[in-house]
């Protein structure tokens, strides 16, 4: 009887020592499913120095801050809690164009602290405008930025922002979806005469 008690005590101690080695963490249920609608576009209506086609899911809200200038605004995606900030500048001379381009690079480079990588590509739109697209990877507030110019009179910059604390890997499908919309926006942009 004594040996049975010793045996039971040894088994209980073994079970307790094995079960206490590892903390239990419940597994996550998984990522939220994000159903993305088909891309549909419509012309931007209003008196802006440019025309473009934006997503039908988004609304354009003019920037009314005290620093805003004509043509500034946000293309808001309420469904995704995201927006594309647009800032327009009239080019006065070669130096102002250089300044706008440098400001754009500075705004992008501010994210180097948190970005894993920043990939920049030069582009030319069907209308012959030139620009740069910057894609940022990592936990950065903006994952996609661009600027376009006709090099003589007009300059526009756009940046995608999310108003959520979600990690960018969880937002990846939405980011890719909006990047398609932004590519369409850039390819349909035209300056008004």
pLDDT tens digit string along 130-145? Answer: 999 988 777 777 788 9
Identify whether 23 is part of a domain: no
Identify whether 56 is part of a domain: yes
* Percent of the chain clearing pLDDT 90 (strictly above): 47
What's the whole-number average pLDDT of the chain? 84
**pTM score of the predicted model:** 0.77
Q: Strands (DSSP E) along 26-129, which ranges?
A: 41-43, 50-51, 53-55, 59-62, 73-77, 82-90, 115-124
- Single out the residue of 169, 124, 119 nearest to residue 144, CA to CA: 119
Q: Given this model, what pLDDT does residue 84 score?
A: 95
* Interval 34-50: pLDDT, tens: 778 899 999 998 889 99
Give Cα separations from 189 to 87, 149, 173 (angstroms).
13, 10, 25
Q: Where are the alpha helices (DSSP H) in 73-167?
A: 94-109
Identify whether 84 is part of a domain: yes
Domain region containing 84 = 41-191
Query: Which CATH number belongs to the domain containing residue 94 in this structure?
Result: 3.40.1000
- Quote the tokens at residue 44: 């931007």
CB contact at 8 A, 20 and 59? no
The total number of structural domains in the chain stands at 1
Instruction: In whole angstroms, give the CA distance from residue 85 to residue 101.
Output: 16
CB contact at 8 A, 29 and 168? no
CB contact at 8 A, 50 and 65? no
Identify whether 180 is part of a domain: yes
Give Cα separations from 52 to 85, 114, 175 (angstroms).
14, 32, 20
Identify whether 61 is part of a domain: yes
Identify whether 20 is part of a domain: no
Identify whether 4 is part of a domain: no
Identify whether 156 is part of a domain: yes
For residue 12, what is the enclosing H or E element? helix 2-19
């Amino acid at each position: 009887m004594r040996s049975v008690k010793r045996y039971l005590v040894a088994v209980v101690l073994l079970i307790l020592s094995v079960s206490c080695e590892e903390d239990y963490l419940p597994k996550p249920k998984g990522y939220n499913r994000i159903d993305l609608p088909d891309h549909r576009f419509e012309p931007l209506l209003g008196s802006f120095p440019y025309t473009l086609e934006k997503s039908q899911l988004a609304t354009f809200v003019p920037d009314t801050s005290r620093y805003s200038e004509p043509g500034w605004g946000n293309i808001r995606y309420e469904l995704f809690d995201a927006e594309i900030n647009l800032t327009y500048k009239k080019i006065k001379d070669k130096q102002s164009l250089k300044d706008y381009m440098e400001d754009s690079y500075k705004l992008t480079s501010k994210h180097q602290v948190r970005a894993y990588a920043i990939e920049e590509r030069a582009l030319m739109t069907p209308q012959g405008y030139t620009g740069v697209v910057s894609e940022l990877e990592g936990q950065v507030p903006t994952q996609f930025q661009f600027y376009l110019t006709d090099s003589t009179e007009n300059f526009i910059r756009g940046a995608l922002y999310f108003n959520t604390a979600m990690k960018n890997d969880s937002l990846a499908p939405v980011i890719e979806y909006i990047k398609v919309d932004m590519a369409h926006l850039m390819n349909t942009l035209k300056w008004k005469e």
